[in-house]
Amino acid sequence: MSLLERARAVAARAALALPHPVQRMLAGRPVRRGGELLGVEPQLLLRLQRIGREPAIESLPIPEGRLATARQAALVAGDQPIGSVRDLDAGGVPARLYVPRGLAASEASGLLVYFHGGGFVYGDLETHDAVCRVLAEQAGVRVLAVDYRLAPEAPWPAAVDDAVAAYRWVVEHADELAADPGRIAVGGDSAGGNLAALVAIAAARAGWRCAFQLLVYPVTDMTASMESRRTFGTGLFLTTRFMDLGRDTYVPDRGSWTDPRVSPLFAELPEGLAPAYVATAALDPLRDEGEAYAARLAEAGAKVETRCFGGQIHGFVNMVGVGRSGPAAVAEIAAALRAAIG
């Protein structure tokens, strides 16, 4: 991180540590969209981004956009403690294992296989390092983050294939990871939530153990047909332009957008699906399709808990190092993970 980036991170942490009335003054007049009131902290972060003239990721060439994604993630990540971290190969897919403090190396625990967000084009192990640390520590479980292939270098179905291969490897090598075979879960955010949902479906069909699925504002409908896509698609971090770029790069053939391995909302859901926790953000373009998929899971007989975080925007799970509302939301998600496999 450069000196300028460090200064921006310090400024963000300082601004979001101020008393609420001061934050409100700095953030500007309250913003309401689609009947939802934008939280003060996300509004202030968005304003700081504009003041800093940070270019929109989707306006940059993809290599530069990936660097910008990493910079933005670092600004809000903070310094998150963890017991141990090591990189490994998960059946040919790069991965990183997080073990929380207080858990002995050989002590069996639950394990979450986690897929990062980033529109299938951006993101990696580093952009989601902080949230994986927090989930591991607060849930008291191991977390295995998967570095699946990205488009355009590897368009669909490469990411799905990597995700399924990595999960299958974890199930088959649970002993090596000190994972309790009966407490292996899958999870992810945004594009990673899409992959997690698809892995849970594949696991149910193949008879692999899957105790839980943690879906955080998952992409479930590539046709972009839901109302929230239109209501919240500008000015709230995740934009329509970004989503279109990610989709068109990942799945260039529009005829495949309704393929069930692209859009799980169109899948014929099998019996035996793992219980699910589906988290959405009130002012997120992906809110409606996340909630629609939760309803589909329930119709298929899966036990489902849904949680819409009021005032929040897309990306809040990365904001574990600044403010109060983002860390509080992630703590609530971690509590659900602990209850399921901890």
What confidence tens digit (pLDDT) does each residue in 190-248 have? 999 999 999 999 999 999 999 999 999 999 999 999 999 999 999 999 999 999 999 99
Give the C-alpha distances (Å, rounded to integers) separating 272 from 21, 88, 196, 201, 275: 49, 30, 16, 9, 9
User: Would you say how long the chain is, in residues?
Assistant: 342
pLDDT: which is higher, 293 or 1: 293
Residue 332: is its pLDDT beyond 90? yes
Task: Provide the pLDDT confidence category of residue 6 given band limits of 50, 70 and 90.
Answer: confident
Q: What is the pLDDT of residue 11?
A: 81
Percent of the chain at pLDDT > 90 equals: 92
The span from the CA of 261 to the CA of 251, in Å, is: 11
Amino acid at position 94, single letter: P
Residue 106: is its pLDDT beyond 80? yes
For 58-68, what is each residue's pLDDT tens digit?
Answer: 999 999 999 99
Q: Tally Cβ neighbours within 10 Å of residue 67.
A: 12
Q: What is the pLDDT of residue 212?
A: 99
Mean pLDDT, all residues of the chain: 96
Q: What is the pLDDT of residue 171?
A: 98
Q: What is the pLDDT of residue 1?
A: 64
**Is 59 part of the annotated catalytic residue set?**
no
Burial of 254 (0-12, 13-18, 19+ CB in 10 A): exposed
Residue 314: is its pLDDT beyond 80? yes
Q: What is the pLDDT of residue 70?
A: 96
Task: Provide the pLDDT confidence category of residue 124 given band limits of 50, 70 and 90.
Answer: very high
**Is 190 part of the annotated catalytic residue set?**
yes
Residue 51: is its pLDDT beyond 90? no
Residue 4: is its pLDDT beyond 70? no
For 131-147, what is each residue's pLDDT tens digit?
Answer: 999 999 999 999 999 99
The span from the CA of 179 to the CA of 181, in Å, is: 6
In the set 109, 190, 263, 325, the catalytic residue is 190
pTM: 0.97
Read off the DSSP letter of residue 159: H
In the set 147, 162, 221, 314, the catalytic residue is 314
Read off the DSSP letter of residue 274: P
In the set 124, 189, 284, 288, the catalytic residue is 284
Mean predicted confidence (pLDDT) in 111-133: 98
**Is 128 part of the annotated catalytic residue set?**
no
Q: Are 163 and 199 in contact (CB under 8 A)?
A: yes
The span from the CA of 155 to the CA of 250, in Å, is: 5
pLDDT: which is higher, 5 or 104: 104
Amino acid at position 293, single letter: Y
